[in-house]
Amino acid sequence: MESIVTARSEGGVHERNAAIRNHEVRRRVSALTAYAVVVEAPARSDFRQLELTPPGPEDVVVEIDYSGISTGTERLLWSGTMPPFPGMGYPLVPGYESIGRIVSAGPKSGRREGQFVFVPGARCYGEIRGLFGGAASRIVIPGRRTSTIHEGLAERGVLLALAATAYHVLRTPEGGLCIPELIVGHGVLGRLLARLAVALGDSPPVVWEIDSQRTGGAQGYEVTTVEQDTRTDYRTICDVSGASDVLDTLIARLAPGGEVVLGGFYTRPLQFSFPPAFMREARMRVAAEWQPDDLDAVQALVMDGRLSLDGLITDCRNAEQADAAYRTAFDDPACLKMVLDWRSIH
């Protein structure tokens, strides 16, 4: 009888200890915080600590190593010129190109602790909007929204979102790939498009670029200007310049039945003269947001050596220097890609 009582007593102690431990875990989880870039208003940012939404059973907690700064949509958020967009408003946490390690995984998250993942942003900051929410030292996000990536990519892993965007531009509604003969714009997205075209196509594309500081760095293709290029029979033209007045120029360079693919983000209405488009029976296609299978496809191309991510990241700053980093990313044409390093802030 005494042994039974002792066992019951010890069992009660174990249960109480387990309850205490569980309470402590819940207490720590409920008090999760992170340092984040907060855009308070156009052209004004802060670097401060935020309380995170407690993770649920489908969530993971990711400690971020690196996050990229987008010179497209993030520039619009920074400048206050972003068109009406779901969830738009200030203050906000920007960023949708983050990579890091899972430090906690819910039982229904489909992920496990220790995995290295790509994070396309998060909404875990309470009253602070997450648009897109990736520029933080720690993130709470549903596991299904993360993508496992190879840890050896290091900071280059932030480029997978742009690479997936470029791959999505190539995909047709039928699920095939349409390799462009002409690419307009030689920023990071244009370079990735050109590298994919070289890797997947039969012949290298031509790339137009108006900024002399961005004409270098071609790998297996030609970079020129619209004035130097006299060709008028391009079957597929991809524009990633974001210039709203470019359509008439591109349509004039199409072959009959040719297609213009709009892969940039345009803040003003796009217009074009109808007769030239009519004469060519021109087609137009808009490429929107990349999908998880796009990211899987480009990561496979990277890992087997067919797609290089080298030479695209030109600047890397400690995340605490985010305000200066954003200004450099948006104002310095020599800065192709700015990356924030969060590793010292965990």
Q: What is the pLDDT of residues 147-173, one digit of tens each?
A: 999 999 999 999 999 999 999 999 998
> Tokens standing for 316?
């890397």
Q: Is the pLDDT of residue 5 over 90?
A: no
Confidence of residue 220 (pLDDT cuts 50, 70, 90): very high
How many CA atoms does the CB half-sphere of 17 hold within 13 Å?
6
Specify the pLDDT at position 15. Answer: 52
Q: Is the pLDDT of residue 21 over 80?
A: no
pLDDT digits (tens, 9 = 90+) for 55-102: 999 999 999 999 999 988 888 888 888 877 777 889 999 999 999 999
> Tokens standing for 281?
């029976």
Q: Is the pLDDT of residue 27 over 80?
A: no
> Tokens standing for 41?
């208003």
Multiple choice CATH, 32-148+311-345, 3.40.50.1970, 3.90.180.10, 3.55.10.10, 3.40.50.880: 3.90.180.10
The residue type at 224: T
Mean pLDDT, residues 36-44 = 93
Q: Average pLDDT, whole number, for the chain?
A: 90
Q: Is the pLDDT of residue 26 over 60?
A: no
222, 186 Cβ separation under 8 angstroms: no
Q: Is the pLDDT of residue 259 over 80?
A: yes
C-alpha 26/C-alpha 20 separation (Å) is: 10
Answer with the residue of higher pLDDT: 106 or 87: 106
C-alpha 135/C-alpha 69 separation (Å) is: 9
Percent residues over pLDDT 70 in the chain: 91
Specify the pLDDT at position 6. Answer: 40
Mean pLDDT, residues 246-263 = 98
Confidence of residue 51 (pLDDT cuts 50, 70, 90): very high
Mean pLDDT, residues 236-252 = 96
C-alpha 72/C-alpha 262 separation (Å) is: 14
Answer with the residue of higher pLDDT: 141 or 20: 141
Helix or strand holding residue 285 (H, E): strand 283-286
Mean pLDDT, residues 273-301 = 95
Report if pTM > 0.75.
yes
Task: Classify domain 162-286 at the CATH topology level.
Answer: Rossmann fold (3.40.50)
97, 67 Cβ separation under 8 angstroms: yes
**CA-wise closest residue to 288 among 175, 165, 191, 186:** 165
Helix or strand holding residue 24 (H, E): helix 2-30
221, 205 Cβ separation under 8 angstroms: yes
